[in-house]
Amino acid sequence: MNATDHKPLTGKVALVAGGTRGGGRGIAVELGAAGATVYVTGRSSTADGGATGLDRPETIEETAERITAAGGTAIPVRTDHSRPEEVRALVERIAADQDGRLDVLVNCVWGGDSLTDWEHPLWEQDLDTGLRLLRQAVETHVITSRYALPLMVARRSGLVVEVTDGNTARYRGSFFYDLAKSTVIRLAFAQAEELRPHEVAAVALTPGFLRSEAVLEHFGVTEENWREAAAKDADFAHSESPAYLGRAVVALAADPEVMARSGRALATWGLYEEYGFTDADGSQPDFAAHWAEALVDAHGPLGDPL
């Protein structure tokens, strides 16, 4: 059953940190469609012209509009998650608005596309740029959890989702990118260990080949005609929309036995089989299966989940 077939998260409160675009936007919209009140945060806001240095047009207000259109409740709050004082103020607002309630925390802050050097090894990369990527992609998650987790601990319930890329130890193609995405998995594991006595779950979650706004733009297509790009890249035919990732999060958040998964690195391609959710078009993409069939000879095995 799809998350949008009913509202299993009615009455729940969610914070999607980094919900401006891509997977974060997909998660925020699906959480709202499932009944949650969603605080969607990020640096790109219509209040300041959407300027973030990312040269992208998406804003948190646009995400909020999509949540509302899906039948959900959205509260956009411009927040720079690298600034502890802004995150503290955000969480204080949530606590005041929602009587101390926070049920789902999604750490999806990224902003590292323009900082990733895919061409050079570590010793030839710009060090300041690489360290800035780590601060943006890892420290922001730590800061956000530091201030948000007390709300969950106090209620002895909740779910933390650390969004990453890949759920194995496989090298991801660039030193700082690999370090950031691998570290996010460890963040989920470490939080799970400390949160377990308080009955709060923490997992890492990866999509497959995600059709973000930037990816669609790269292929010169939209979400409506994306299949046309498969003629240029056969792997693209096995891609998934951000909604698929969002529905995976909804399934986890609605699962009363989610504590059994705490500390694990999960993927959309494993969860759809267990929960039965589909992508927005009714399909069930399985990028791991595609990898095993079409990419393993050229790139080696994807690897076992961490």
Catalytic residue among 39, 147, 177, 272: 177
Domain range for residue 291?
Answer: 3-299
CA torsion, ordered 287, 291, 295, 298, to nearest 10 deg: 120
Instruction: List the Cα angle 212/50/176 in 5-degree steps.
Output: 55
Number of domains in the chain: 1
pLDDT at residue number 254: 98
Q: Which among 171, 189, 178, 179 has a CA at the least distance from the CA of 306? A: 189
Residue 117 lies in a domain: yes
Residue 145 lies in a domain: yes
Residue 104 lies in a domain: yes
Residue 304 lies in a domain: no
Residue 305 lies in a domain: no
Strands (E), the chain: 13-17, 37-42, 73-78, 104-107, 159-163, 201-206, 265-267
pLDDT at residue number 50: 55
Q: Are 27 and 18 in contact (CB under 8 A)?
A: no
Total-model pTM: 0.95
Q: What is the mean pLDDT of each run of 10 residues along the chain (306 residues)?
A: 70 97 97 98 82 74 97 97 98 98 98 94 98 97 98 98 96 97 98 98 98 94 94 93 98 98 97 97 96 92 88
Residue 160 lies in a domain: yes
Active site (annotated) includes residue 275: no
Residue carrying the six token digits 């409506």? 224
Task: Give the domain CATH number at 32.
Answer: 3.40.50.720
| Cα–Cα distance for residue pair 41/38, rounded to 1 Å | 9
pLDDT at residue number 161: 98
Residue 306 lies in a domain: no
Residue type present at position 177: Y
